[in-house]
């Protein structure tokens, strides 16, 4: 069913649920992305508990040995039949003994993909499937879906083309030269794997359609068009003149399957171009939506759109949680979806009806030429937000006068104080919650024992500055703006240390070496092998000298030319001081517990610490955090995620810190919790990155007795 804007103005109704299928879930299992099959990031193991968590020690460490400059490990490992499966910084897939960390096998996908230094993006996990003696690990490496034997690591030759399927194909489009990265693991349903993909952020992006593939053969079984084709539901929410050229509306954050109801719940991101939507007038279904699909056929059952005509990059950032709660005396099987905008949306799994009212509220309108934003946006009345919703004058960093002066100077031509303020060419805006949330890809943990959801969040302001596209007559500038401008900024200054400046790139690279880098990619920078050799050469020339050459001038508005936005966003930018401090007062990282029976906060604490500020008396600060929490029946919430390179355990009822340990590098991932031979383990990938030093370790903790 479609949830119209009007339906959110009514009072919520009571939903009657029979005994929940979720009661059949094995919460000691950790064989899915998100732990158990409901994606709850919860373990019923209690051998490690509030009384003994302080005795945790390192049980084993597995070193992958292949970290590089700015590499990461974002993988949450899974554990099946005593083997722990994960991925390395260079996207090798491995199996180690879950109780000892001893390597059993390791597979380098580039053995069959070719190119030792080829770029394949990041990877957040793998999927497991078995049928009798046939046991398989499926995972993404760049634009490839691959399958290997779970016991040996050998490619499954009968899967696709010698163990691989090219995700650029069978998208129901004329083009195949897209940037596609399968970073989040697909979900297994019967003999299918259902998955999404990460795409370009520009108007060259592929459409983010959802596909199911046969696990045995690699054959595509079904497709759901997240950007509808003519005649399909939702097509009327697009400009028919341009809809066939628009991309995005993709699932990059993962999904979850209700195996008993045979429903797959798919959260999607923004349509492109993210910040100026002049070519996509309308609400743009199914961008920024939670979609319930028939897992057998891919047919839509219901959907909810959280952002109409998104111009803020407010993708749904994590897979949803299947939860069972008691509201007004009635048990309800629900699905809960956290968001970058710091809110949680909760629905009846079968009908899509909101558990609490969601109201369409009037919003300020864009004044950018060619842009028409939605007059309203849906705001949930409950659950309560898990962070501040506005950046206001009192929130400006004021720990030291010089820091406050720095930030206020940057805000002279910037508007703030409005969560839904539209981007403008006349002035910048503060985006708060920022582009990395609020909630992010680490996801939330739901405890079925106490019906509590645990959510970590970033509470950091970002800047959006729009610039008119004056590059229509210069192909070098236009190509740069399309492929590089979002990250490195239109002035090529970057956002160090995570995004380097390109202003002196000619001192680091030759013409040929820069061409090779662009073609192959490295670290967080994707490979641009999907653009033509001619355009890549023009881009390199522009990057090397920054000049407009007469030979590069070209009219870009021919009938068959690709779309180019009328306005560009001038780079991903956090609001920060010259010293690298965030432009708001702390806390900058949060961990929140929400009672999902009532929608009310139980507690909220600061997550992480910047030691240099704490030493000056400014504690607690919190830090940016990437990766999610895990709750357990032992009364604990485990989380790493923070930039201070620690893993922590909190009392799940009070938020009290009970234990913490230093890691060899930041654990920007979600832990795994499992048992082997009567011993409980906690494992975290320590890959660093995100502005911290890189690492190559998986570290396991357990009790020594």
Per-residue pLDDT of 576-597, as tens digits, reads: 999 999 999 999 999 999 999 9
- Cα angle vertex 664, ends 661, 666, to 5°? 80
For a pLDDT cut of 90, what percent of the chain falls above it? 79
Query: Which residue is associated with the tokens 């937000």?
Result: 385
CA distance 496 to 505: 14
pLDDT in the model for residue 23: 59
- Mean pLDDT of the region 606-632: 97
pLDDT over 90 (residue 485): no
Predicted local confidence at residue 7, as pLDDT: 40
Residues 344 and 476 in one domain: no
* Burial class for 299, CB neighbours closer than 10 Å (0-12, 13-18, 19+): exposed
How many degrees, rounded to 5, is the angle at CA 122 between CA 667 and CA 695?
35
pLDDT given for residue 251 in this prediction: 98
Instruction: Give the pLDDT score at 484.
Output: 81
**Residue reference for tokens 């399957």:** 257
In contact, 250 and 320? CB cutoff 8 Å: no
Residue 438: asked if its preceding bond is cis (omega within 30°), the reply is yes
Query: Is pLDDT of 620 > 50?
Result: yes
Q: Look up residue 510 and give its two tokens.
A: 């030759």
| Cα–Cα dist 530/181, whole Å | 12
Residue with tokens 């996801």: 443
- Cα(666)–Cα(686) distance, rounded to whole angstroms? 5
Tens-place pLDDT, residues 496-529: 776 788 887 877 788 778 877 777 777 667 777 7
Residue 409 placed within a domain: no
Mean pLDDT of 605-619: 96
> Could you tell me if residue 267 is inside a domain?
yes
Distance, in Å, from the CA atom of 361 to the CA atom of 447, rounded to the nearest integer, reads 32
Least Cα distance to 204 among 167, 226, 177 occurs for: 177
Question: For residue range 117-169, what is the model confidence (pLDDT) as tens digits?
Answer: 456 678 999 999 999 999 999 999 999 999 999 999 999 999 999 999 999 99
One domain for residues 244 and 373: yes
CB 125 within 8 A of CB 77: yes
Query: What mean pLDDT comes out for the span 183-194?
Result: 98
* Cα 147 from Cα 362, distance rounded (Å): 48
DSSP labels, 573-612: EE-B-TTS-BSBPSP-EEEEEEETTTTEEEEEEE----HH
Higher pLDDT, 135 or 552: 135
Query: Are 379 and 419 within 8 A, CB to CB?
Result: no
d(CA 351, CA 3) in angstroms, rounded, equals 10
Per-residue confidence at 543, pLDDT binned at 50, 70, 90? confident
Regarding whether 504 and 363 lie in a shared domain, the answer is no
Confidence of residue 469 (pLDDT cuts 50, 70, 90): confident
3-state secondary structure of 361: strand
* Cβ pair 184, 316 in contact under 8 A: no
Number of domains in the chain: 2
| Structure tokens that stand for 70 in this block | 């700015």
d(CA 261, CA 265): 11
CA distance linking residue 71 with residue 687, whole number of Å: 7
The region, left, alpha or beta by phi > 0 then psi within -120 to 50, assigned to residue 690 is: left
Residue 682 lies in a domain: no
pTM over 0.85: yes
Which has the higher per-residue pLDDT, 365 or 547? 365
- What pLDDT, on a 0 to 100 scale, did the predictor assign at position 523? 66
Q: What is the pLDDT of residues 253-296, one digit of tens each?
A: 999 999 999 999 999 999 999 999 999 999 999 999 999 999 99
Residue 114 lies in a domain: no
User: Which of 138, 152, 148 minimizes the C-alpha distance to 192?
Assistant: 138
**103 vs 94: CA distance, rounded Å:** 7
The whole-angstrom separation of Cα 160 and Cα 173 is 20
Query: Who has greater pLDDT, 542 or 466?
Result: 466
pLDDT digits (tens, 9 = 90+) for 77-103: 999 999 999 999 999 999 999 999 999
Q: Within 10 A of 537 (CB to CB), how many other CB atoms are there?
A: 14
Asked if the peptide bond before residue 502 counts as cis, ω within 30 degrees of 0, the response is no
Indicate if 364 and 482 belong to the same structural domain.
no
Supply the pLDDT for residue 480: 75
Range from 297-301, 366-370, 491-495 carrying the lowest mean pLDDT: 491-495
CA separation for the pair 137, 523 (Å, rounded): 24
**Tokens, residue 636:** 């604990």
Q: For the beta carbon of residue 242, count every other beta carbon within 10 angstroms.
A: 14
Looking at the fold, whether 352 and 474 belong to one and the same domain comes out as: no
Tokens describing residue 357: 């009212």
**Where in 436-566 does DSSP place strands (E)?**
445-447, 452-458, 462-464, 466-468
Cα–Cα distance for residue pair 120/98, rounded to 1 Å: 26
Residue 551 has pLDDT above 50, yes or no: no
Q: For 23-47, how does the pLDDT look when each residue is reduced to its tens digit (9 = 90+)? A: 589 999 999 999 999 999 999 999 9
* Element holding 199 (H helix, E strand): strand 198-199
Count of CB atoms within 10 A of residue 79's CB?
Answer: 23
Give pLDDT, residue 9: 35
CATH number at residue 328: 2.40.10.480
| Residue 438, SS3 per DSSP | coil
User: Which of 522, 540, 564 is where one domain is finished?
Assistant: 564
- 227/360 same-domain check: yes
Contact 298, 222 (CB under 8 A): yes
| pLDDT of 443 strictly over 90 | yes
Count of helix runs (H) and strand runs (E) in the chain: 7, 42
441 is written with which tokens? 């890809």
Please state, as a whole number, how many other Cβ atoms lie within 10 Å of the Cβ of residue 546. Answer: 16
Q: Are residues 354 and 238 in the same domain?
A: yes
Pairwise CA distance, residues 366 & 354, whole Å: 29
Strands, sheet with 462-464, edge to edge from the N-terminal-most edge strand: 414-415, 428-431, 462-464, 573-574
Task: State how beta strands 330-338 and 344-348 pair.
Answer: antiparallel
Pairing of strands 344-348, 657-662: unpaired
Residue 557 pLDDT > 50:
no
Q: Looking at residue 496, which CATH number applies to its domain? A: 1.10.760.10
Q: What's the rounded Cα separation, in Å, for the pair 456 and 643?
A: 13
Question: What is the rounded average pLDDT of the residues 158-186?
Answer: 95
| DSSP secondary structure code for residue 396 in this structure | B
State the pLDDT confidence band at 561, using cuts at 50, 70 and 90: low
Residues 51-68 have pLDDT tens digits of 999 999 999 999 999 999
Q: Could you tell me which of 193, 167, 346, 207 has the C-alpha nearest to residue 257?
A: 193
In a domain, 344, yes or no: yes
Residue 56 lies in a domain: no
Half-sphere exposure of 364 (CA within 13 A, CB side): 15
**Torsion angle of the four alpha carbons 537, 543, 546, 547, in this order, in degrees rounded to the nearest 10:** 0
258 and 362 inside one domain: yes
The answer to whether 630 touches 639, Cβ cutoff 8 Å, is yes
Residue span of the structural domain in which 300 resides: 1-25+201-209+219-377
Last residue of a domain, one of 564, 584, 610: 564
Same domain? 237 vs 347: yes
CA geometry: angle at 291 spanning 73 and 304, to 5°? 115
Residue 12 lies in a domain: yes
In a domain, 30, yes or no: no
674: phi then psi, degrees, rounded to nearest 5: -160, 175
Half-sphere exposure of residue 586: CA atoms within 13 angstroms, side-chain side: 21
Which of these three, 318, 352, 377, is where a domain ends? 377
Q: Are 584 and 463 in contact (CB under 8 A)?
A: no
The C-alpha angle 660, 98, 39, rounded to 5 degrees, equals 70
Mean pLDDT of the chain: 91
Using DSSP's 3-state secondary structure scheme, residue 162 falls into: coil
């Amino acid at each position: 069913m479609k949830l119209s804007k009007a339906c959110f103005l009514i009072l919520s109704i009571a939903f009657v649920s029979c005994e929940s299928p979720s009661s059949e879930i094995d919460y000691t299992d950790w064989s899915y992305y998100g732990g158990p099959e409901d994606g709850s990031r919860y373990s019923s193991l209690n051998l490690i508990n509030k009384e003994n968590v302080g005795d945790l020690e390192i049980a084993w460490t597995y070193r992958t040995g292949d970290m590089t400059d700015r590499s990461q490990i974002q993988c949450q490992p899974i554990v099946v039949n005593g083997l722990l499966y994960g991925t390395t910084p260079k996207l090798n897939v491995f199996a180690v003994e879950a109780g000892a960390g001893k390597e059993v096998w390791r597979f380098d996908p580039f053995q069959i993909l070719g190119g030792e230094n080829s770029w394949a993006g990041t990877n957040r996990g793998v999927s497991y499937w078995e049928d009798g003696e046939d046991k398989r690990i499926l995972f993404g490496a760049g634009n490839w879906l691959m399958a290997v034997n779970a016991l040996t690591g050998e490619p499954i030759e009968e899967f696709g083309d010698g163990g691989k399927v090219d995700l650029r194909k069978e998208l129901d489009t004329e083009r195949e030269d897209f940037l596609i990265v399968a970073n989040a693991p697909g979900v297994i349903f019967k003999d299918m794997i259902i998955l999404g993909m990460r795409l370009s952020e520009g108007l060259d992006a592929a459409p983010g359609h959802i596909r199911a593939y046969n696990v045995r053969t690699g054959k595509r079984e079904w497709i759901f068009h997240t950007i509808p084709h003519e005649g399909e539901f939702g097509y009327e929410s697009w400009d028919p003149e341009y809809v066939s050229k628009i991309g995005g509306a993709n699932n990059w954050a993962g999904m979850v399957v209700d195996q008993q109801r045979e429903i797959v719940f798919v959260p999607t991101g923004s349509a492109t171009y993210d910040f100026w939507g002049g070519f996509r007038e309308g609400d743009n279904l199914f961008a920024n939506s939670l979609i319930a699909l028939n897992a057998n056929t891919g047919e839509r059952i219901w959907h909810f759109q959280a952002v109409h005509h998104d111009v803020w990059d407010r993708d749904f950032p994590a897979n949803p949680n299947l939860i069972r709660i008691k509201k007004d005396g009635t048990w309800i099987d629900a699905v809960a979806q956290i968001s970058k905008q710091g809110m949680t949306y909760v629905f009846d799994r079968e009908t899509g009806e909101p558990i609490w009212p969601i109201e369409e509220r009037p919003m300020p309108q864009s004044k950018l030429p060619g842009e028409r934003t939605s007059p309203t946006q849906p705001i949930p009345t409950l659950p309560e937000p898990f962070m501040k919703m506005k950046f206001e004058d009192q929130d400006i960093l004021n720990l030291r006068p010089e820091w406050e002066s720095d930030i206020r100077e940057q805000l002279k031509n910037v508007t703030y104080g409005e969560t839904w303020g539209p981007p403008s060419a006349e002035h910048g805006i503060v985006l708060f919650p920022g582009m990395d949330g609020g909630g992010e890809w680490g996801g939330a943990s739901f405890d079925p024992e106490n019906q509590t959801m645990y959510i970590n969040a970033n509470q950091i302001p970002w800047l959006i500055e729009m610039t008119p596209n004056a590059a229509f007559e210069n192909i070098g500038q236009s190509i740069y703006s399309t492929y590089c401008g979002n990250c490195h900024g239109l002035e090529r200054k970057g956002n160090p240390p995570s995004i380097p400046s390109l202003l002196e790139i000619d001192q680091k690279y030759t013409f040929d070496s820069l061409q090779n880098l662009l073609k192959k990619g490295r670290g967080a920078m994707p490979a641009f092998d999907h653009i033509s050799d001619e355009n890549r050469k023009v881009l390199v020339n522009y990057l090397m000298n920054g000049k407009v050459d007469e030979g590069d001038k070209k009219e870009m508005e021919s009938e068959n030319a690709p779309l180019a936005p009328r306005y560009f966003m001038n780079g991903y930018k956090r609001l920060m001081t010259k010293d690298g401090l965030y432009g708001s007062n702390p806390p900058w990282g949060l961990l929140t517990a929400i009672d999902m029976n009532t929608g009310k906060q139980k507690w909220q604490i600061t997550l992480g610490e910047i030691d240099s500020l704490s030493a000056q008396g400014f504690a607690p600060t919190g830090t940016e955090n990437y990766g999610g929490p895990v709750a357990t029946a032992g009364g604990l919430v485990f989380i790493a995620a923070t930039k201070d390179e620690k893993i922590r355990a909190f009392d799940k009822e009070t938020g009290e810190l009970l234990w913490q340990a230093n890691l060899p590098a930041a654990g920007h991932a979600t832990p795994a919790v499992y048992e082997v031979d009567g011993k409980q383990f906690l494992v975290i990938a320590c890959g660093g990155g995100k502005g911290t030093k890189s690492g190559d370790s998986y570290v396991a903790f357990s009790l020594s007795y």
